Structure 1
Amino acid sequence: MWPSLLRKAKAGGINIIETYVFWNLHEPVRGTYDFTTDSANLPYFIQLCKELDLYVCLRIGPYVCAEWNFGGFPVWLKHLPGVELRTNNEVYLREMKRFTSKVVDIVRPFLPDKAGPVILLQIENEYSSISDAYGEEGVKYTEECGRFVNELNLSALWFMCRQPYNVPGIINTLNDFYCHPFIDDHRKNFPTAPAMWTEHWPGWFRWFGHAKPTRPTEDVVYAVTYWFAKGGCFHAYYMYHGGTNFGRWAGGPYITTSYDYDVMLDEYGLERYPKYHHTKRLHDILFQFEDV
């Protein structure tokens, strides 16, 4: 479905594709990698984006949440002696850096200095949700994440989303239903960072036994318009196509295998009316006046 979905996204006015990298998909057994088969074929996916002139925002994590099993962590990780996840822990940092370096090696041919489409890379994910629990060790951890990726000296930019600390060399980005109210505070707290909205939620995921969450198209368009009117410079939907969590990949308590998300391309890859068409009109207008 990838070629069809990417073509529909491009036709809908999208020019950058965000995708997570799931550690437990690519390294289910420690030291055994899969970047070539089926949905694990990351180079093929990025190449498709390149052929369609779509930029790529690659969200490595390697903790990614995404309502995915164990947040993307492989189960073997928690059984390593002495490991403590997502903090300034020697064992965790060693494994995190090893996997991240592997992903970087895979995507090097697709970076800007090679005329590639991967212009943004993410390390960690929404750390503000747990930062208080780790205190000073959490500060040290995010700083070490920043130091590590900056020393890789890549031509793409690195960011962390929804994290509370100003990490040198890392762009802090926003995730929410509406992000224009946060722009002024963002500029005060991160004066050298552009205002980037890496997750705009046009819908929401679903739990068994609950009603399907929906969000009006008009509200989605309002949020995008206000964001750029306030000076935002980057915007991406989470999700644009949600799809299906096959097998046991759905994470969290009682989250359904359907990850439809009430977004522009539905679970089956079909255009959702009017959300797909209305947002396409907005995107066309934004591109028409992008120099303003």
Structure 2
Amino acid sequence: MLFQIENEYGPHSKLLGAAGQNYVNWAAKMAVEMGTGVPWVMCKEDNAPDPVINTCNGFYCDQFTPNKPYKPTIWTEAWSGWFSEFGGPIHKRPVQDLAFAVGRFIQKGGSFVNYYMVSFLLLT
């Protein structure tokens, strides 16, 4: 089990500079001080402070490395597709591409993969 602090806040924290990093540090400290005994993660937050683990989200994460060498390499959102807007195109990802991406991630040291956004198309 993992607990997550924020979701993909990293790009925003970079734009905000010191204020963004202060928020990241505050949120991490608050979560860790809860004493849950469960690892905490931040998705797409390169500056996740110890002991919080930064993780990857996306179609491909084989080039991702954690911000410290002693943290595990985690892919919290292995995207199997993309959301569809009403009336818009239905985005599909071939299962072979997803399987290859996951295999390559594990081959390069990945330790955990979570599949995200499994979609079903119902035709009537």
Give the alignment's TM-score, normalised by structure 1.
0.40
- In structure 2, give the amino acid aligned to 1:228: I
- Counterpart AA for 1:197: W
1:198 equivalent in structure 2 = 76
More helix by share: 1
Distance 2:14 2:37 in 1: 32
Higher-Rg member (1/2): 1
Show CA shifts across 1:238-257 (max 9, x none): 123xxxxxxxxxxxxxxxxx
Select the structure with the greater relative contact order (CA < 8 A; seq sep ≥ 6).
Answer: 2
- 1:267 & 1:213 partners in 2: Cα distance? 11
CA contact (8 A) 1:127 1:164 kept: no
Of the three residues 153, 170, 173, the one matched with 2:55 is 173
Runs of 4+ in 1 over 2 A off after TM superposition: none
Residue deviations 1:211-269, cap 9 Å, x none? 211111110110111111111000001123xxxxxxxxxxxxxxxxxxx3xxxxx256x
Unaligned runs of 5+ in 2: none
Residues 1:222 and 2:104 aligned together:
no
* Farther-moved stretch of structure 1 (150-159 vs 205-214): 205-214
SS at structure 2 position matched to 1:159: strand
Establish whether residue 208 from structure 1 lines up as the match of residue 90 from structure 2.
no
| Partners of 1:180 and 1:226 within 8 A in 2 | yes
Query: Structure 1: which 5+ residue stretches go unaligned?
Result: 1-118, 241-259, 261-265, 269-292
Task: For residue 169 of structure 1, report the CA deviation from its aligned partner.
Answer: 1.4
Matched letter for residue 70 of structure 2: T
Aligned to 1:199, the other structure's residue is in SS state strand
Q: In proportion to residue count, which structure has more strand? A: 2
1:156 is aligned to 2:38 = yes
- Quote the sequence identity (%): 39
**Whole-Å separation in 2 of the counterparts to 1:128 and 1:151:** 21
Structure 1: distance between partners of 2:68 and 2:77: 18
Distance 2:46 2:63 in 1: 17
Task: Tell me the secondary structure at the aligned position of residue 84 of structure 2.
Answer: coil
Matched residue pairs, number? Answer: 122
Alignment partners' CA distance in 2, 1:219 and 1:199 = 15
3-state SS of 1:142 partner: helix
The equivalent residue for 2:24 is 142
User: Could you say what secondary structure the match of 1:154 adopts?
Assistant: coil
